[in-house]
Amino acid sequence: MSTDLVRRRVVFSGRVQGVFFRDTARRHAERLGIAGWASNRRDGAVEAVFEGSPEEVEQLIELCREGPRGAAVERVEVSEERPEGLAGFSIR
């Protein structure tokens, strides 16, 4: 596991609200040791920030591409940001 931290801002579009998407992301993040947050957007998307090792962050993004049962992720936009040293994972 790498000791370098990365931060990714990710926007998941499709049927991602009302299907426990944010809570599922939180549970996966906590299991992987990823810090950050997930929030519903007014446009129906879910926006999230993931901070952790490059491998675990990529794994979390891939898990979220599948989404929970009932979700239909149609588009995933990922952008790199400078890590802020977040602790824990919250649902906003």
- Among residues 9, 15, 27, 40, the one annotated as catalytic is 40
- Report how far residue 85's alpha carbon sits from residue 66's, in angstroms, rounded to the nearest whole number: 27
Q: Which of 7, 8, 22, 26 is catalytic?
A: 22
9 is catalytic: no
Local structure of 91: helix, strand or coil: strand
- Sheet with 6-15: list strands edge to edge: 72-81, 6-15, 46-52, 35-40, 89-91
- Torsion angle (degrees, nearest 10) of CA 35, 36, 40, 44: -90
Q: Does 7 participate in catalysis according to the annotation?
A: no
Q: Which residues are catalytic?
A: 22, 40
